[in-house]
Amino acid sequence: MLQELKIRNFKSFRDEVELSFEPTGNDRYNSVVTMPDGVNLLRFAVVLGANASGKSNLLDAIEFLHVFWNKIPMTNDDGTDVQPFLMRSDALSHDTEFEVKLYIDGIRYWYQLVINPEKVCHENLYVYLSDSPTKVFSREDVNGISKLNFNPDLVKLSSAEVEVMTMNCLRNMSVLAVLKKVNVSVPYLDNMRKWIDNRMLPLQSGSFTSLSHDVKRLLADSPEFREYLMQFAKEADFNISDIKIQKMVALFGHTVENESGVENHFLPESCQSAGTKRMVELESLIYTQLKRQAFMCIDEIEASMHPNLMEYILTKFVNSRDNHSQLLVSTHYDPILKDIEDIFGKDSVWFTEKGKDGNTTLFSLADFKGLNKLSSIHRAYMNGQFGALPNVL
């Protein structure tokens, strides 16, 4: 589970910002999981702000890491695809920095990355076997060549294995990606590799024009998922009685009542609304996420979605008990603040705001004092008490 993310000099984030999944107080919701060392982590967080304030860029930072940890470039000259903050004259002279703290199988890890569009400057991984971090590996760029150093007290690798890892580590790739190329087992690094592969889902964004191949395959192969989806569609009043997959074509069953009585009709996917297709896609992802107890980001969760349905989806996720899955969403839909104390707590709410200099700041609702004295947090937000509002003239 993700504990915190720090980023600096990435897209609209010029200065360092920190997103934390640690609650600042007691949380009475099902959204908190306690780690073996006593640290509590939230399962849900939402980022709210005006258009172009940097909400998507925050989620893009996580997706960049997800892609980068898996990317195997063909040559040293392919670049890293990182995008620094460009709204200053000396933009390319500043490196981009990421820090991630997370728990894997109850053990805390600390990952650090310093990178620019050409190469990785530094990359480190630590593990907490006590109250203090212990280095797993460090990596630095020396004249365009990646130099790897593994902690011999923790990582028992032969000189030949270290050489194989070093030779395959191009200057524009992660050490975590090297593990996908070589037949070398590295303690603790392997655990993070497995977490990325199995418990970190890709960023989901925008509306869906058609169901993905993965969703159709899940519908065709998993009776359990079809039952789960049909129950959800019934509870959410979608008037969908069944979904059939025939030769990877989705057919939606609908029940109607007319002068002839009750009739069942199957209509092709093209006849379904964008909201219906987005519901099926999102619920398949959340179903997979809950099964894997994975981490996932959804950008603009309200897209093509009725507010009541969005709230229903979030409620079902938060109320899933005994699960270590985490969901981070962005939204323009400010009435979601009315759900505070009903679905999630104040610690789950974050805001983005962009200054005149183009720099995005990130701050938590929990940072504000006197919240318990407010009759309506949503009304206070609309009155500009927290900022993060569009400037409409």
Instruction: Tell whether 191 and 218 lie within a shared domain.
Output: no
pLDDT bin (cut points 50, 70, 90) of residue 237 is confident
- Give the pLDDT confidence score for residue 235 in this predicted structure: 84
Instruction: Tell whether 146 and 253 lie within a shared domain.
Output: no
Q: In degrees rounded to 5, what are phi and psi of residue 160?
A: -70, -40
State how far Cα 294 lies from the chain centre.
9
Instruction: Tell whether 312 and 346 lie within a shared domain.
Output: yes
154, two tokens = 């923790």
Can you give the length of the chain in residues? 393
* Contact assessment for residue 43 and residue 33, using Cβ atoms and an 8 Å cutoff: yes
Please state, for a pLDDT cut of 70, what percent of the chain lies above it.
97
DSSP states of 161-181 as a string?
HHHHHHHH--TTS-HHHHTTT
- The lowest-confidence range among 89-103, 237-251, 280-294 is 237-251
Instruction: Tell whether 287 and 299 lie within a shared domain.
Output: no
Instruction: Tell whether 120 and 255 lie within a shared domain.
Output: no
The total domain count for the chain is: 2
Instruction: Tell whether 184 and 284 lie within a shared domain.
Output: no
Q: In degrees rounded to 5, what are phi and psi of residue 61?
A: -65, -40
pLDDT at residue 388 is higher than 90: no
Task: Return the closest-CA partner of residue 256 out of 244, 245, 267.
Answer: 267
Instruction: Tell whether 269 and 298 lie within a shared domain.
Output: no
Mean pLDDT taken over the chain: 92
Instruction: Tell whether 282 and 169 lie within a shared domain.
Output: no
Helix axis angle, 213-221 to 223-235, nearest 10°:
100
Instruction: Tell whether 162 and 96 lie within a shared domain.
Output: yes
Domain boundary among 291, 314, 333: 291
Buried residues in 181-192 as b, exposed as e (16+ CB within 10 A)? eeebebebbebb
Could you tell me the sign of the dihedral formed by the alpha carbons of 342, 343, 347, 349, in that order? Answer: negative
CATH number at residue 96: 3.40.50.300
Instruction: Tell whether 216 and 298 lie within a shared domain.
Output: no
- Give the pLDDT confidence score for residue 391 in this predicted structure: 67
Domain boundary among 236, 265, 291: 291
Neighbours of 287 (CB within 10 A): 18
For residue 215, the 8-state DSSP code is H
Domain span at residue 192 reads 1-201+294-393
Instruction: Tell whether 284 and 299 lie within a shared domain.
Output: no
pTM: predicted TM-score of the whole model, two decimal places: 0.93
Instruction: Tell whether 120 and 79 lie within a shared domain.
Output: yes
